[in-house]
Structure 1
Amino acid sequence: MTTSSIAMQPRTAFYRWLALSANLALLVWILLWQLTLSPHPHLNPTALAIGWVIPLLLPLFGILKGKPYTHAWANFVLMLYFLHALTLLYVDGGERWLALVELLLTFAAFIGNTLYARLRGKELGLKLTKLSEVEKQEKAHFDHR
């Protein structure tokens, strides 16, 4: 049975929509911010925009395909934007509103990714192996050498 043949519950579909929308909105927001709303006065805005967008592009294919594991690990990428937004909220009054939008989009993407990965993973029967099981497997593997 393929993942596409297993029905997605409405609640799961909502979090998928939230994750997809927020991740794409964050990508667009970063581009707008770096290229038009507040380009850096001393550095190349295009280079900065590319540098800020590349991490968001890494999980994009899996997010577009609706892969639960990709949604889960994409949250590690989002932490970069979360920390960036919090730092600017604290130190830069001029870009505070830009950072607030970044923080809200990052938070929405984080919630959407987390809950979609959890709910869809349950629907598909995906499970991470418990650490104790992994340790047993490794011990058995290395004891037989």
Structure 2
Amino acid sequence: MGKRDEWALAAFVLALVLALWCVLWEGWFAPLRPGGSWLTLKALPIAAALPGLWRGRRYTAQWASLVSVFYVAEGVMRWSDGGGAGFFAKIEALLAFALFVALLAFARRSGQRGKA
């Protein structure tokens, strides 16, 4: 295996941080209900992409980019929530958008390498 693509590594790290952020937000720091929430399960779709992103698989980057849009949308929709949740929503939206950009850059670069 050659040198790891920096966009693939960035996407992996951002996906990991986003999944952890969602769990911490909904489980402990600002849950929808006191004591935690089932919304911690929202971290599962992006966490499912972690093995494929670690291996640098283009297909995983493609479908994970579609999933990341939902995290951006949720973060924007909950942007003005009270009780500290608005802060977590803003960070989620920013992380998810950064992840989306990294995934697209990785998928594009890996597609160009495949044609060369």
Which position in structure 2 is the counterpart of 1:57? 47
- Secondary structure (helix, strand or coil) at the match of 1:92 reads coil
Which is higher, the Rg of structure 1 or of structure 2? 1
Which amino acid in the other structure matches residue 13 of structure 1?
A: D
Q: Confirm or deny that 1:92 pairs with 2:92.
A: no
Gaps of 5+ in 1: 127-145
- C-alpha distance in 2 between matches for 1:39 and 1:77: 22
Structure 2 unaligned residues grouped into runs of 5+: none
Distance of 2:54 and 2:37 partners within structure 1: 25
Percent pairwise identity:
27
CA distance in 2 between counterparts of 1:58 and 1:70 reads 9
Q: Aligned-residue CA RMSD in angstroms? A: 2.1
Q: TM-score, normalised by structure 2?
A: 0.85
Q: Deviations over 1:51-74 (max 9, x none)?
A: 212211332221121101210111
- Distance in 2, Cα, partners of 1:64 & 1:14: 11
For the 8 Å contact 1:18–1:108, the answer to whether it is kept is: no
CA distance in 1, matches of 2:99, 2:39: 22
Alignment-mate amino acid for residue 92 of structure 1: D
The one-letter code matched in structure 2 to 1:69 is Y
Q: CA deviation at 1:46?
A: 5.1
The correspondence of residues 1-145 of structure 1 with structure 2, limited to 5 A, is 4=1, 7-8=2-3, 13-41=5-33, 45=36, 47-49=38-40, 51-89=41-79, 91-94=80-83, 95-125=85-115
Tell me how many residue pairs correspond in the alignment: 115
1:27 maps to a residue whose letter is: A
